[in-house]
């Protein structure tokens, strides 16, 4: 099925189905209207395998192959909301493109999004699907997300869609002063979602909740 055809979708993509998902996110505490509208309008079903398309608008993570998952819509919304809270973001780095769903939700809310993924087939697929949505402000790279994207640093914001055991110093160093890093940190079963703000005087750390992500791995897949 081509991206253009799949956007039309079937009953699973009805406005009522998406509205129910958005209402659930509201009930869970998501308040940013721009974020909620992105969740409502991005066709999540094109980012999952056709066999799982009927579950695309459930508030749950789903497998996308290569040991990776598409994140739960609530987590995508929470991370996006935490990242964009504050001054407008000009340059943002996404670590872990995955299937491209988080990319598609976030990209229109920032000026330019740089997205790094270590698994080459995922980069190709994400690029195709994001561009099929007429989102043209994303630069993709097959690379080691633990290293960030040094040639484009500093970034006003960084969002990591996989969990390192500790806060990666390399990513912190690529933050602009005033920049925000949203990252799940810790071993499986003990992960916390953090917002790290880089200030002149040092780092300000906030705990945003308990989460469960695949590990952030070094190297290329």
Residue range 26-50: mean pLDDT, rounded = 96
Domain that includes residue 21, residue range: 3-211
CA-closest candidate to residue 156, choices 197, 115, 127: 197
Question: What pLDDT shows up at residue 2?
Answer: 42
Residue 112: inside a domain? yes
Residue 217: inside a domain? no
Residue range 19-24: mean pLDDT, rounded = 96
Question: What pLDDT shows up at residue 7?
Answer: 53
Residue 164: inside a domain? yes
Sheet with 138-142, strands from edge to edge, namely 138-142, 112-117, 91-95, 155-160, 175-185, 191-199, 202-211
Band of residue 51 on the pLDDT scale cut at 50, 70, 90: confident
Examine the pLDDT at 162 and tell me if it is beyond 50: yes
Residue range 85-110: mean pLDDT, rounded = 97
Residue 216: inside a domain? no
The mean pLDDT value of the chain amounts to 92
Where residue 112 sits, what CATH number does that domain have? Answer: 3.40.50.150
Residue 55: inside a domain? yes
Active site residue 150: no
Question: What pLDDT shows up at residue 13?
Answer: 62
Residue 128: inside a domain? yes
Examine the pLDDT at 65 and tell me if it is beyond 90: no
Examine the pLDDT at 85 and tell me if it is beyond 60: yes
What's the domain count of the chain? 1
Residue 203: inside a domain? yes
Residue range 201-209: mean pLDDT, rounded = 96
The secondary structure of residue 30, as a DSSP letter, is -
Examine the pLDDT at 10 and tell me if it is beyond 50: no
| The one catalytic residue among 14, 71, 150, 212 | 71
Residue 8: inside a domain? yes
As a whole number of Å, the CA-based R_g of the chain is: 16
**Rounded to two decimals, what is the model's pTM?**
0.92
């Amino acid at each position: 099925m081509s991206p253009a055809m799949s956007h039309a979708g079937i009953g699973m993509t009805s406005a009522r189905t998406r509205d129910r998902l958005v209402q659930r996110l509201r009930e869970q505490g998501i308040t940013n209207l721009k974020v909620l509208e992105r969740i409502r309008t991005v066709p999540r079903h094109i980012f999952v395998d056709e066999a799982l398309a009927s579950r695309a608008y459930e508030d749950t993570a789903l497998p996308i192959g290569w040991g990776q998952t598409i994140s739960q819509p609530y987590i995508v919304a929470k991370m996006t909301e935490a990242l964009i809270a504050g001054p407008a973001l000009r340059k943002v780095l996404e670590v872990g493109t995955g299937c491209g769903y988080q990319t598609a939700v976030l990209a229109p809310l920032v000026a330019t999004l740089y997205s790094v993924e270590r698994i080459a087939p995922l980069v190709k697929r994400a690029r195709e699907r994001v561009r099929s949505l007429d989102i043209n402000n994303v630069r993709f790279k097959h690379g080691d997300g633990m290293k960030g994207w040094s040639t484009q640093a500093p970034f006003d914001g960084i969002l990591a869609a996989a969990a390192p055991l500790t806060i990666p110093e390399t990513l912190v160093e690529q933050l602009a002063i005033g920049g925000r890093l949203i990252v799940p940190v810790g071993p499986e079963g003990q992960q916390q979602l953090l917002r790290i703000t880089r200030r002149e005087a040092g780092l300000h750390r906030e705990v945003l909740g308990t989460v469960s992500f695949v590990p952030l791995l070094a190297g290329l897949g």
